[in-house]
Amino acid sequence: MITCPAPLGPDGTIQLAHGGGGRLSRALLDEIILPAFDSGPKGDRHDSAVFDVAAGKLAFTADGYVVRPIFFPGGDIGKLAVCGTVNDLAMAGARPQYLSAAFVLEEGLPIDDLRRVLASMRDAARAAGVRVVTGDTKVVDRGKGDGIFVHTSGVGHVPRGVDVRPARVRPGDVILVSGDVGRHGVAVLSVREGLAFDGAPESDCAPLVAPVQALVEAGVDLHCLRDLTRGGLASALNEIALDGGVRLDVEESAVPVHEGVSSACELLGIDPLYVANEGRFVAFVAHADAARALEILRAHPVSAGAAMIGRVEAQGRGAVHLRGPLGGTRLLDLLSGEQLPRIC
């Protein structure tokens, strides 16, 4: 436990000077931010992190996180910022290795809130097997931000032979989902709207590295992967259908939805298929690989609830068809408006 109140300023909150590049900036970095990560010796500290890479394919991604509130059941903005970026790398079939973490802090943010967020980031990074090696901190005046925004970016090694992208999706491919959908959005919304109900779900926010690496190591030919973040399952499927130029058929009753999520969605008038997740993904694999892939997913706690939900019907104009429990089919479209602002 580091206790060093004097150099951090008088009242335990973030001040503009914490972002000014002077003594208070350095104190914030040395006392609060760097101790949360494995930052190496001072003499090696620099504007860039430098590390060795093997020849091959590297995946690189970046995301911003503006979730409101910053603490929610099952996680916080820090856990989200690590898992989200780690998962984007995993969705390229990569083994995530290094992350950056950059903060926009609003003047007046309690420094203890920052400590909690950093501790979550450290824990999530350890769980995902990545190191946070570089970053940045900016401070904006009161009323020009919202407590804390986090940006993370990451790099990871893509194993030889892995080629995961919408263009590889083929008619006949089976669509797997790694678990029940809608928990993250409902968890955030329930605390934001002050809804407390029995069986309210926690966020599914978690790193997806282990199941994806297991699929890769087992030699499953992954055609496409996509995590089900903003816009949920429906949006992810639509993006892949549009970018890959394929028509997808999904069986509505095959999509797992937790009972608490269903009830909450009914109450809130939203569709769980469009609700954000932060620990769920879809995998497109050849029919011959599907049963084996499902078995591998179910062996990992984070994807124990995996299910087959549909298949790729045909090449052509991108569209997603949803087959209802009574046999009728409707178009599962992209949403026009905004269902859930500031969910990630």
**Residues 15-74 within binding reach of its own copies (CB under 8 A):** 15-17, 19-26, 41-66, 68
Give the shortest CB-296-to-its own copies separation in angstroms: 21
Q: Is 193 in the site for its own copies (CB under 8 A)?
A: no
Give the shortest CB-158-to-its own copies separation in angstroms: 6
Q: Is 155 in the site for its own copies (CB under 8 A)?
A: yes
Give the shortest CB-152-to-its own copies separation in angstroms: 8
Q: Residues 6 or more apart from 269 whose CB is under 8 A from it?
A: none
Spatial separation of the C-alpha atoms in residues 107 and 69, rounded to whole Å? 17
Q: Is 226 in the site for its own copies (CB under 8 A)?
A: yes
Q: Is 341 in the site for its own copies (CB under 8 A)?
A: yes
With respect to its own copies, which residue has the nearer C-beta, 108 or 292?
108
Residue tagged 């809608």 (tokens): 182
Number of residues that bind its own copies (CB under 8 A): 96
Q: What is the DSSP string of 105-168?
A: EETT-BHHHHHHHHHHHHHHHHHHT-EEEEEEEEEE-TTSS-SEEEEEEEEEEEPTT---SGGG
Give the shortest CB-135-to-its own copies separation in angstroms: 6
Give the shortest CB-336-to-its own copies separation in angstroms: 5
Give the shortest CB-189-to-its own copies separation in angstroms: 13
Residues in the chain: 344
User: x/- site string to its own copies, residues 242 to 271, per CB under 8 A?
Assistant: xxxx--------------------------
Residue tagged 């030919």 (tokens): 221
Residue among 37, 106, 24 at smallest CA distance from 70: 106
Q: Is 186 in the site for its own copies (CB under 8 A)?
A: no
Q: Is 314 in the site for its own copies (CB under 8 A)?
A: no
- Containing 331, the helix (H) or strand (E) segment is strand 329-331
Spatial separation of the C-alpha atoms in residues 302 and 224, rounded to whole Å? 19
Q: What is the DSSP letter of 173?
A: P
Task: Pick one of 37, 72, 103, 284: the residue that binds its own copies (CB under 8 A).
Answer: 103
**Residue 14 half-sphere exposure, CB side, CA atoms within 13 Å?**
32
User: x/- site string to its own copies, residues 162 to 181, per CB under 8 A?
Assistant: --xxxx--------------
